[in-house]
Chains A and B, each alone.
Chain A
Amino acid sequence: DVKVTQSSRYLVKRTGEKVFLECVQDMDHENMFWYRQDPGLGLRLIYFSYDVKMKEKGDIPEGYSVSREKKERFSLILESASTNQTSMYLCASSLKIGTGTYEQYFGPGTRLTVT
């Protein structure tokens, strides 16, 4: 059974703080993703990674960076948190085999509040 875990379920940070959100998957998936989900806006892709040390910008990368030093771990970094980054953050992973596409598995999410 695929398991994707995130370091915190709930997080409260102050404006200007540096925030680290960690995601770990145990199924040896190559692809990992970070999304944020806001009411009325659905899921929006922030960054993704298709291999160790590889990263690509998604649709809304501004204000975020990522790190993938190990295959199982993908970190999202908010360099200087702002109130408009208050959101639910979801990590996901998926297989990469040949030219196919495979379903994503999500972590439980981190609800971040920036005050």
Chain B
Amino acid sequence: RKEVEQDPGPFNVPEGATVAFNCTYSNSASQSFFWYRQDCRKEPKLLMSVYSSGNEDGRFTAQLNRASQYISLLIRDSKLSDSATYLCVVAIRDNYGQNFVFGPGTRLSVLP
């Protein structure tokens, strides 16, 4: 079983739609959680950290369920510019420092 799994995608949605991405992780000792977005042929960029209480940033809402080892990202009122691959990232601190594990990503295409 992979350490971090995401919806396989791709998701093709019309502008204005609401879309939700799911992510599960296997290591119960995971400490920090993030969503990154990656545009085609570009580097991943931090979209938002995910906090235990859930957090919102404009049209984006992230949720964390530690008991179920599940993270989600909700995008409301999708824009064309939201088209990208969304990476779920889980981090754990070990003896050597930080270990970041990336999910395979879910590709989103927002259509006009």
Contacts and interface: CB of A to CB of B under 8 A. Distances in A.
Interface in A35-56: 42-43, 45, 48, 50, 56
Contact of B43 (A94, A100, A101, A106): A106
Interface residues of B, number: 23
Nearest to B90: A101
Contacts, number: 56
Contacts of A107: 43
B97 A105 contact: no
Interface of B: 31-32, 34, 41-46, 49, 87, 89, 91-93, 96-98, 100, 102-105
Given A45-B100, A103-B49, A106-B44, 13 more contacts: A33-B100, A42-B103, A48-B96, A48-B97, A50-B97, A94-B98, A96-B98, A99-B93, A100-B31, A102-B32, A102-B98, A103-B32, A104-B100
